[in-house]
Structure formats: structure tokens, C-alpha cells
Amino acid sequence: MSNPQSLAEFALIREFFSSGFARSTDTILGVGDDCSIISSRADFELVQSIDTQVADIHFPASAPAYLIAQRALRCAASDLAAMGAIPQGFHLAISLPHSEREWLEEFSRGLKDAANQFNLDLLGGDTTKSKQLVISISVQGWVPTGSALRRDRAQVGDDIWVTDKIGLAALALADVLKNPATTDGLAQAYYFPNIQMELGQLLRPLAHACMDISDGLLQDAAHIAKASHVTLQFEAAAIPTAAAFLHADWWHSIGGGDDYQLLFTAAPTQRHALSTLQQRFTGLSRVGQVLAAQQQAVQLVHNQEILSLPEQIGFQHF
Ligand code: ADP
Ligand code: MG
């Protein structure tokens, strides 16, 4: 006998994952068939990404379902912002340890609130049972042909920019683990990372290379450096961080991930356009420059001196 509070698979999908989501006019067929069908847009390219979050690795298993859903969808949607994409929709694969109504209601509400904020249509998914909660979300969106913001386009002489403060979510982690239900203070930044969906699109004609910072500023900067065959040199004191410059927490701020701000490079000729954007996006900061490839892919400088970096500079699963 199933628990009266728990729901069967198809009832669950119908009730929580089939209505109330932003609808895209490009969606011909969404939840309910074997595949979703999306009409292609002339002169646009489809960009796609998938992101998985595992309970007790990416979020505390005991966190409120609303917060788990918000964070999962925001983190997945961040990859669209990083490419400068116009959001279209997402698929959700969820493995659940149970199917309790109250939990699902809150999860579905969090998912809808986040999806509607970014105009992401729920296109379909997969629902399974497992010992631990695992959430995989694939997202997709459009970019005008040839204009996606890639990691391998940084040019020597570019400025380096970040879209807002780094390190809030990393510094929140200790509090979040102690009290997973709190959204006070820094925990807000952990559960509701401020995805730069609009700014990402505005950067399309301005930026050369771009990515979202999910594993720590320095480690992620190395990805742009390696893909573009350049060195990214940061002016350490110019990086907007949650902790005071060179305080112990400062290293944690620039090494920690989870803020999902954008890191991008742009020609110095774009400084005027970017300073105009700073009036609306006040966190936008110029933090360094792109050099011809040196021995180190990423350098931090202060008073013209290169700071030595800690050995492990960001998050890695293995
Ligand atoms: P199939 O057997 O073809 O894989 P399913 O029986 O697993 O399809 O799912 C039925 C329908 O419900 C499909 O359209 C699928 O995309 C959708 N679906 C299943 N789980 C979810 C979910 N968690 N969120 C959104 N849609 C879902
Ligand atoms: Mg099928």
C-alpha cells in the first residue's frame, strides 16, 4: 500500500510539473509526450546546457523544498546568462526519495517562481525514485547566429570585468549547513543567486569572452585563459568581494563558487558602453587585463607585485 500522503508518478507529474510555468511561443509540444517539440527560429542558434545537483553535495538535503528548487533552477539558468542567451525552456529529471505532497508542492512552487522570473518554459522531464534527491535540469535558449558569448574569445589587451560581488555564497555556506532553513543575510545569496540573465544578453555585442563563475573566480578564470590561450591578470584590490581585501575570508571569497556572477573580457573601447551599463548594474567592475600567455594562466597583482596563489584555488568534485 502506498502512503496516503504520497503520490503516484503520473499524478505527481500532472499536479506539479505540467502547469503554471512561463509558456514559450516557440514550444509546439511540452510536458506529456515522448519528446518536446520546439520550432526553430531563423537566424538564431539554440544553446543548451545541463546541470545536476545532488542532496548533501550541492545543497543540504534537509533544506526547505522551495529553496532547493529555486537554487537548482537558478544555477542551471546561469549557463544561459553566461552565453548571452534568450531563455526558452528547460527539462527536469528528478530522482526523489519519496513523493510527499507537501514537499512536492513547495518544490513545484519554487521551481515555478524561478522559471517565471527567467521566462523558462517547463518542456518535460523524468521522474524516478532513488535513495537520495538528485535534480538534473537542462536549459536551452536562443542567440542570434554567431553571437554567443564563448570562453575562447578573449583577446590580448582586453579588460577583465565581473558583474557583481564575489564570495557571498561561499561565506554563507557555514551558516547554511548549520541552519538549512534560514534565508537571512548571506544565506539569501546562497539560495537565490542573482543570475545576470538580462545583463548577459546586453553583453553580447560588448564582450569578447564570457562565463559564469560557479567554481570560484580564479579557477574559472583559468578556463577562459586556457580556452583563449592568454593569461588573465587580476588587479587583486579591484575585485569586488564579500570580505575585506587580503583578510583570511578574502581568499575564500575569490576561491569559492556559487555566486554565479559573470566573468567577461571586453576591448578597452567598450569602457564607455560598460560604464553606461554600470548605472543600472552597479556591481559591474573592471578587475584586470588580458595578457599574452605567461607561465601562469591566472595572475593576481597588487602594487605591481604578483601575489602567490594557494594550491587549491576553487571547487572540484574529484
Ligand atoms: P517516457 O516514458 O516517454 O520517458 P514518462 O512516462 O517518463 O515519459 O513521462 C511522461 C511525461 O511527463 C513526459 O512528457 C515527460 O517529459 C513528462 N515528465 C516526467 N517527469 C517530469 C518532471 N519531473 N517534470 C516535467 N515533466 C516530466
Ligand atoms: Mg516515451
pTM for this one?
0.94
**Sign of the torsion formed by the C-alpha atoms of 101, 107, 112 and 113:** positive
Q: How confident is the model at residue 1 (pLDDT cuts 50, 70, 90)?
A: very low
pLDDT tens profile 9-65:
999 999 999 999 999 999 999 999 999 999 999 999 999 999 999 999 999 999 999
Rounded CA Rg of the chain: 20
Which of left, alpha, beta for 119 (phi over 0: left; psi -120 to 50: alpha)?
A: left
The predicted structure's pLDDT at residue 248: 86
User: What is the residue-averaged pLDDT of the chain?
Assistant: 94
Residue 309 pLDDT: 83
- Of all protein residues, whose CA lies closest to atom 16 belonging to ligand 1? 124
Query: What is the CB-side half-sphere exposure of residue 121 using CA atoms within 13 A?
Result: 18
From the CA of 35, the nearest ligand is 1
Q: What is the pLDDT of residues 81-90, one digit of tens each?
A: 999 999 999 9
Nearest 10 degrees: CA dihedral of 14, 19, 20, 23?
150
The letter for the amino acid at 281 is: F
Mean pLDDT of 157-178: 95
Burial of 117 (0-12, 13-18, 19+ CB in 10 A): middle
**To 5 degrees, how large is the angle CA 258–CA 82–CA 46?**
130
Q: Ligand 1 atom 7: the closest Cα is on which residue?
A: 126
The preferred substitution site among 17, 52, 127, 137 for testing ligand 1, maximizing ligand atoms within 8 Å of CB, is 127
